[in-house]
């Protein structure tokens, strides 16, 4: 038996899903099984033939103990409320518990139609499956909370996307849970307050058990839940910002209550620093641009808060006041997380009041200069080692930056750690390898057009160790050549 399922969502939350069997596919073939993750989850792949693995990860057979369900949810998509979305091409097979006692969902994505498919075919194209594999694993390796990739399998079928037939694939995703802001919204919009409460209780038990343990009669567990999710999301989006990650579709149905990054669609890492960067072709107005991600997170949390109001207090005005107070703390919490991350990125270990201005001034000096966001911070560490040329060469006009370097050096002199320690901190906190858009595209193109997965494999391996220079991997550290630098990601999922 591969999974030792223990299915609480299916068992406890009747009315929150529809049981569905996955579609059969004609010619399943494994692209990759994440053996490192499997081992971490205590899954015994060794006892399972390749054929059986293929059947399970393609959805051709349901593994023993599975209770496949499509979860229902709603969501604000680009600001407009859609009262019913749900798993239109995904199935939760069940939950497992790892050896540390942590519970994970095992989900198939691209496994066929469900009652929530609307006009969709329930399938996933190969390209987006590989993109999610690459980027979610890269996020995990960077230390950022994320769903993970357990397997990817081609199906032998084609799907139609943008008037083209493309090979399709099934992705196996591992997540702390798939409860979304939109899951709360679905029941709240229908006026099913009991179900909102049931979901809130379930979420507390599963993700924030301390709330119940700490609660006494005077405390308000649902307000505490809102505060806990606000904290988790403030921390998450701060980590995105520190590595230049742009999610692309921060709809409320794509935001977890666990605080993990989920639903890698038209996501991408910013190459040169520009706060209004947008990659997604569907984000025409830049709603989910790089710099908008923190305020959008707060906006999404406000939608969550609305669903919890009747649980927070019977008196609506009082409930609104309590929830507003909780949400108003978001910018402060976000800044605290972001500042901690950015301080480390420039080698600072102690806290000084002017650090915020110092960091903002660095970003201002980078803006409009086509400075590579990832390389810059590695180059700053190099600069402290006496290699100044590369960092200055990144700027079209380095005059502002030069002035900033002097201020930074002065600030570093206040540190209790020595310069070597600052340099080490910077090398530890600033990745050298991120999923660069042209490298992701190159790997996807070889796989989709030529069934050549070698570039995908090398990319995955390189990104699994993002802070350590690796021999022969220089091409993965560099920005795209100019002719490739105008980049768009398409939602063609
Ligand atoms: P996403 O863009 O992945 O966040 O998906 C938004 C909604 O559209 C979710 O309810 C998905 O389940 C649904 N969806 C996306 N692609 C498909 C598809 N190919 N077939 C059915 N439903 C889909
Ligand atoms: Mg989604």
Which ligand does the CA of 119 lie closest to? 1
Which ligand does the CA of 166 lie closest to? 1
Q: Which atom of ligand 1 is nearest to the CA of 491?
A: 2
pTM of the model: 0.97
Which residues, judged by CB distance below 6 Å to any ligand atom, belong to the binding site of ligand 1?
85-89, 116-117, 120-123, 249, 253-254, 263, 265, 493
* Boundaries of every domain in the chain: 8-178, 182-328, 338-429, 437-484
Query: Distance between CA 326 and CA 348 in Å, rounded?
Result: 30
Burial (CB count <10 Å: 0-12, 13-18, 19+), residue 249: buried
- C-alpha distances (whole Å) from 115 to each of 17, 84, 180 are 10, 11, 18
Query: Distance between CA 275 and CA 137 in Å, rounded?
Result: 25
* Tokens matching residue 391: 């960092």
- Phi then psi dihedrals of residue 401, to 5 deg: -65, -40
Ligand 1 geometric centre to CA of 110 (Å): 9
- Phi then psi dihedrals of residue 69, to 5 deg: -140, 150
* Tokens matching residue 283: 């984000």
Query: Distance between CA 306 and CA 312 in Å, rounded?
Result: 10
Residues sharing a CB contact under 8 Å with residue 282, sequence separation 6 or more, in sequence order = 78, 249, 266, 490, 491
Task: Give catalytic residues, as residue numbers.
Answer: 253
Picking from 52, 56, 59, 66, the residue whose alpha carbon sits closest to that of residue 95 is 66
Which residue's C-alpha comes closest to atom 11 of ligand 1?
88
Ligand 2 geometric centre to CA of 281 (Å): 16
Query: Distance between CA 477 and CA 469 in Å, rounded?
Result: 9
Q: Which atom of ligand 1 is nearest to the CA of 73?
A: 10
- C-alpha distances (whole Å) from 337 to each of 77, 185, 234, 331, 341 are 27, 27, 7, 10, 6
Q: Which atom of ligand 1 is nearest to the CA of 159?
A: 19
pLDDT in tens, the chain (493 residues): 899 999 999 999 999 999 999 999 999 999 999 999 999 999 999 989 999 999 999 999 999 999 999 999 999 999 999 999 999 999 999 999 998 999 999 999 999 999 999 999 999 999 999 999 999 999 999 999 999 999 999 999 999 999 999 999 999 999 999 999 999 999 999 999 999 999 999 999 999 999 987 665 568 999 999 999 999 999 999 999 999 999 999 999 999 999 999 999 999 999 999 999 999 989 999 999 999 999 999 999 999 999 999 999 999 999 999 999 999 999 999 999 999 999 999 999 999 999 999 999 999 999 999 999 999 999 999 999 999 999 999 999 999 999 999 999 999 999 999 999 999 999 999 999 999 999 999 999 999 999 999 999 999 999 999 999 999 999 999 998 876 666 666 554 5
Mutation test residue for ligand 1: of 117, 175, 300, the one with most atoms within 8 Å of CB: 117
Ligand 2 geometric centre to CA of 254 (Å): 5
Q: Which atom of ligand 1 is nearest to the CA of 123?
A: 19
Picking from 283, 262, 293, 294, the residue whose alpha carbon sits closest to that of residue 488 is 283
Mutation test residue for ligand 1: of 89, 92, 252, the one with most atoms within 8 Å of CB: 89
Query: Distance between CA 31 and CA 285 in Å, rounded?
Result: 36
Mutation test residue for ligand 1: of 108, 114, 120, 160, the one with most atoms within 8 Å of CB: 120
CA 262 to chain centre: 5
Torsion of CA 272, 276, 280, 286, to 10 degrees: -170
CA 216 to chain centre: 34
Query: Distance between CA 327 and CA 329 in Å, rounded?
Result: 5
Query: Distance between CA 390 and CA 423 in Å, rounded?
Result: 16
Ligand 1 geometric centre to CA of 249 (Å): 12
Residues sharing a CB contact under 8 Å with residue 249, sequence separation 6 or more, in sequence order = 263, 265, 266, 267, 280, 282, 283, 288, 491
Which ligand does the CA of 181 lie closest to? 2
Ligand 1 geometric centre to CA of 219 (Å): 39
Query: 139-173: buried (b, 16+ CB within 10 Å) or exposed (e) per residue?
Result: bbbbebbbbbbbbbbbbebebebeeeebbbbbbbb
């Amino acid at each position: 038996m591969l999974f030792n399922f223990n299915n609480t969502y299916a068992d406890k939350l009747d009315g929150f899903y529809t049981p569905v069997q996955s579609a059969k596919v004609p010619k399943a073939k494994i692209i990759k099984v994440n053996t490192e993750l499997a081992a971490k989850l205590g899954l015994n792949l060794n006892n399972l033939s390749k054929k059986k693995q293929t059947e399970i990860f393609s959805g051709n057979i349901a593994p023993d103990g599975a209770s496949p369900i499509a979860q229902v949810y709603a969501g604000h998509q680009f600001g407009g409320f859609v009262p019913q979305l749900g798993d239109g091409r995904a199935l939760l097979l069940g939950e497992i518990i790892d050896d540390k006692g942590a519970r994970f969902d095992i989900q198939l994505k691209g496994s066929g139609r469900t009652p929530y498919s609307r006009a969709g075919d329930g399938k996933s194209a190969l390209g987006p499956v590989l993109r999610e594999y690459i980027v979610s694993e890269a996020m995990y390796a960077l230390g950022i909370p994320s769903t993970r990739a357990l397997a990817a399998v081609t199906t032998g079928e084609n799907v139609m996307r943008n008037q083209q037939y493309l090979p399709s694939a099934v992705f196996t995703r591992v997540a702390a849970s798939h409860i979304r802001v939109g899951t709360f919204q679905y029941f709240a919009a229908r006026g099913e307050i009991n179900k909102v409460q049931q979901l809130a209780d379930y979420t507390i038990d599963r993700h924030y058990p301390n709330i119940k343990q700490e609660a006494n009669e005077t405390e308000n567990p649902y307000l505490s839940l809102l505060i806990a999710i606000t904290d988790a999301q403030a921390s998450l989006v701060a980590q995105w910002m520190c590595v230049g990650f742009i999610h692309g579709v921060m709809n409320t149905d794509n935001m977890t209550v666990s605080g993990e990054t989920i639903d890698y669609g038209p996501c991408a890492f910013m190459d040169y620093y520009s706060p209004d960067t947008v990659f997604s072709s569907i984000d025409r107005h830049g709603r989910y641009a790089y710099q908008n991600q923190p305020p959008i997170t707060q906006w999404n949390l406000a939608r969550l808060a609305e669903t919890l109001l009747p649980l927070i207090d019977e008196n609506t005005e009082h409930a609104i006041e309590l929830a507003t107070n909780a949400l108003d703390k978001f910018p402060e919490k976000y800044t605290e997380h972001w500042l901690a991350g950015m301080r480390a990125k420039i080698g600072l270990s102690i806290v000084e009041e002017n650090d915020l201005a110092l960091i903002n001034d660095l970003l201002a000096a980078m803006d409009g200069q086509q400075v590579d966001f990832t390389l810059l911070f590695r180059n700053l560490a190099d600069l402290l080692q006496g290699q100044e040329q590369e960092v200055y060469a990144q700027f079209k006009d380095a005059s502002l930056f030069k002035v900033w370097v002097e201020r930074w050096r002065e600030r570093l002199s206040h540190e209790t750690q020595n310069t070597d320690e600052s340099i080490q901190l910077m090398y530890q906190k600033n990745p050298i390898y991120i999923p660069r858009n042209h490298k992701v595209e190159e790997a996807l193109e070889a796989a989709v057009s030529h069934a050549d997965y070698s570039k995908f494999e090398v990319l995955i391996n390189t990104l699994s160790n993002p802070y350590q220079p690796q021999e022969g991997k220089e091409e993965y550290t560099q920005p795209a050549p100019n002719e490739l630098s105008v980049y768009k990601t398409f939602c063609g999922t």
